[in-house]
A and B are shown apart, each in its own frame.
Chain A
Amino acid sequence: DTEVTQTPKHLVMGMTNKKSLKCEQHMGHRAMYWYKQKAKKPPELMFVYSYEKLSINESVPSRFSPECPNSSLLNLHLHALQPEDSALYLCASSQETAGIGSPLHFGNGTRLTVT
């Protein structure tokens, strides 16, 4: 079982809907990440939060809005998505911004389908 919990596991939404993806970890990690993964491709970094502050935004469209309410929670708010946004959305965490001594811990992902 992963120590990073993502909900929901699956989500189907229309282009006019507003939904949120949630991620939770209780390992005391101070860095949390959102990745997007298309089929047969490696994960693509979207956002990095370090000590609850947004530290990296990889030029992600504004229809994706991250939020870090506290050190254990990370949300991704979705609004007016396009069908090409359908993908697996992965949350990860690490003790510090990942590098030496800070392995990444991934959740199982939310599989998003935009209709």
Chain B
Amino acid sequence: KNEVEQSPQNLTAQEGEFITINCSYSVGISALHWLQQHPGGGIVSLFMLSSGKKKHGRLIATINIQEKHSSLHITASHPRDSAVYICAVFFTPDTGNQFYFGTGTSLTVIP
């Protein structure tokens, strides 16, 4: 069974804190995506990566293919970062050409 697990499920942080959200998956993948969903529904794609590390502003995403693990880091967190963060994995073609979504991490950043 293809599984994508995220931790923690819920996270509350003080403004300015460094935040880490983790994602683990069970089998080989061709790409991993980090998505952000704000209250009200719209989903924004933050990163797509298949190896190494990517940085965009205060957000950093890393992936370790051998360990089947990815992390999303937020530096100097801000209340506007409050959202649900979803890890989505695109497994290799023999496991189906579609995304498998993690259950999401609900982040609340308190001023």
Contacts and interface: CB of A to CB of B under 8 A. Distances in A.
Interface of A: 2, 37, 40-43, 45, 48, 55-56, 88, 90, 92, 97-100, 103-109, 111
Given A42-B101, A42-B103, A104-B99, A98 B90 contact: yes
- Chain B, interface SS category: strand
B11 to A, nearest CB: 14
Interface residues of B, number: 23
Contact of B43 (A99, A100, A106): A106
A42 B102 CA distance: 7
- Chain A, interface SS category: loop
A108 B103 contact: no
A12 B1 CA distance: 36
Contact of B98 (A56, A106, A108, A111): A56
